[in-house]
Structure formats: C-alpha cells, structure tokens
Structure 1
Amino acid sequence: MASARDRVLDAYETLLIEHGAAAITLDAVSAAAGVSKGGLLYHFASKDALAAGLLDRLRDRSAADADAIRTAPDGSVGYYIRTSAPGGGTPGGMTRTYLAVLRLADGTESGQAVRDALAVVDADGYEALRDELHDPVLAWLVQLVGDGLYLRTLTGTPLPPGLGVEDLLARMRRYLPAGPEMAPPAP
C-alpha cells in the first residue's frame, strides 16, 4: 500500500491533470488523498511545499528513467523512442508526473522551479542517450524525435494512420550507427 505521502502526491497529480493548478486547494488534495488535512500538512506544510514535493518526485523518476534508458536490453534509442510514443509508457509513473508538472507551470508562482526540474529531466534523457550514441547531435536528434512522440502521448494525439513506432525505428536504423541501441527488439 502506498504511503500517505505518496497518496497525497498521487492525488495532487490527479487534481493538477484534471483541473489545473488554479483549482488546487489543500482541502481538495487531502480529500482526494483520503488523509486528514493535518496528515497532509505533516508531509507538506504549504502549497509551495506540495509543489516542491512534486518536483522532487519528477527528478527522482527522471533519474530512474535515465537508468532504465542506459540499461535497456534493446539499447537506449529503442527504449527512449518506444517509451515516448503513445501507449509506450515509462515505468514508474514518469509520464503522469511530467504532465502534472506541466499543469503546475500553468498557474503557479513556481515557474522557475518548474523550468529547472524540467531541465533536469531533459538533461537526464540526453546524457543517457549520449552515453550510448557518443555523438551529441545524434543524441539530440533522437531526443527531439522522442519529445515529439511524448507530446502526442501527453495530448492523446494518435500516430499517423498506418505508421507505428517500429516503422520510425526502422528508418532511424538507416541513419544511426549500428549497435545494440538500434538492434531490433527481441521476439
């Protein structure tokens, strides 16, 4: 069972995604989390502390995702592209937390803190790709393709009819250096 702190952050994410930052109150978060307001305040003394907790969660999940990128059996590029695409999903709730943080940026005074946390996520992914590709431009190109797929994931936009992630990876294999990162997925 999730800890009270995790339930509060889960509820906060849900409220941000469904209603935006302007609609968030500590009472609404505590009710959605199923904890007393005192229980919420024990973990997060204010809305700013709650936002900071969500940004910490994003950074933690990003670090875990970067480790997964580096150790993916089919290589960093395949992992990055597949988990960025609609339906691919990153393990550990990264997509959901990222979307909540984007909503947090909409209506809070935490703008710089949000941008800083998003920069950490961006750097984590880039460095993990660069570890395997070695070429900074190729790593950035893969990241940009993944970012475009991730935007589709966040907005619910489907892939073009008749095309899928494996089609994209097959074309990318023509341009990227051969190696484990571009090996076809195991059956």
Structure 2
Amino acid sequence: MRDRILDAVERILVAGGADAIRLDAVAAEAGVSKGGLLHHFRTKQALLEGVLDRLVERFEAELPPPGSPPGTFTRAWLDATIPPDDVPAKAHGDRVAVAILAGLSGGPEVLDALRRRYRIWQERLAGDGLDPATASLVRLAVDGWWMARLLDLAPPRDDLHRQVRARLDAMIGQEAR
C-alpha cells in the first residue's frame, strides 16, 4: 500500500505541483481510505519525504559502487537522468523532476535531505577519476536539462536532445581515457 500511495503522490506532484498534494486527493488517487493513508503518512510533509527517500534510493541503486573505473559514476549519473532519445515529459517517469519538486515543496527538512544527498553525489563525481571540473560540468548540465524539462523552459528536443546528450557522453569518454 505504501508504494501505491507514493506512486499517487508522484503523479499528483508532476501533474499539479505541491499545492495539489492534499491528503484526501492522495487517498483518492491511490484508491485507499484516508485512514489507510494516515496509517503510513501522517502529513503532507511525510508524503513528500517518502517520495524523496524512495526516489533517492532508486536513483542510488542505478549508480555504481565506489572504486569503479574512472568515469563510471559520471556516466551512470548521465544515463540515469537523461534518456538517449527525447520523450515527452509526461511519457516517462521524470524521477529527478519529482525528487526536486518534493525537495522544494516539502519544507526545509526535506530540502536539507536533498542537499545532503547532492553533497555526497558531488563528492563521488569529483572523485570519479575524471577531471572534477568535467564531472561537475556534466552534473550541472544534467541539472539544467531536467530544470528546463520540468518548467518547460525550451528544453532541447529531438535531434538537438540527442546531440547534447552525445556531447556530454563524449566529454566523459575523453576524460576517462
């Protein structure tokens, strides 16, 4: 039931933003009673924390362990975030966007948790065996990509999407040699 509730929160968050997250709306979207929802999540903040925690856990499961070959972590960061081909924002799970929405709208505690994760990820990127500036540039480009996508700020589409992603991939490949 917990995953069904968190799935509902993600859908509502992407479709309507943080203001659309109301306990009754989440219960209805998840197909559970409000009491069932409250058994797992007592507040809106708890819902957003749950979404963020689950997304971070899933994202980290896609990342390689420390000690992997140079560039492996940075490439996994890119692969886990930007799909090789452009797809409409609503057509695939924009996990990063959902995590950021949860972090931004869940209050200072949720945002602080996201910031802590980012500091750890940035340390891993900087220690990935590539030039730390290149690894950081890839992260910042990825962050800008999903922000443009999330807010529909003219994200690269179609062939330009593929070209930008290929350029980031090539940067990683050049550094990893």
Do they fold alike, i.e. is TM over 0.5? Answer: yes
Count of equivalent residues: 167
Specify every segment of 5 or more residues in structure 2 that has no aligned partner in the other structure, as ranges. Answer: 87-92
Query: What is the RMSD of the two structures over their aligned residues, measured on CA atoms?
Result: 3.4
User: What amino acid does structure 2 have at the position aligned with 1:166?
Assistant: A
Match of 1:38 in 2: 35
CA contact (8 A) 2:6 2:51 kept: yes
CA contact (8 A) 1:85 1:165 kept: yes
Q: What are the Cα deviations for residues 90-114 of structure 1, in whole angstroms up to 9, with x where unaligned?
A: xxxxx644323433456x5x43123
Q: Please give the TM-score of this superposition, normalised by the length of structure 1.
A: 0.69
* Residue 113 (1) aligns with residue 109 (2): yes
Which of 136, 141, 146 does residue 137 from structure 2 map onto?
Answer: 141
- Runs of 4+ in structure 1 over 4 Å off: 68-72, 86-89
CA distance in 2, matches of 1:46, 1:171: 44
Structure with larger Rg: 1
Match of 1:17 in 2: 14
* 1:48 Cα deviation from its structure 2 partner: 2.6
Pairs within 5 Å for 1:18-167: 18-67=15-64, 75-87=72-84, 96-104=94-102, 108=105, 110-133=106-129, 135-155=131-151, 157-159=155-157, 160=160, 163-167=163-167
1:170–1:104 CA distance, 2 compared to 1 (3 A): closer
CA distance in 2, matches of 1:25, 1:161: 35
CA distance in 2, matches of 1:83, 1:124: 17
CA contact (8 A) 1:15 1:24 kept: yes
Q: Percent identity between the aligned chains?
A: 35
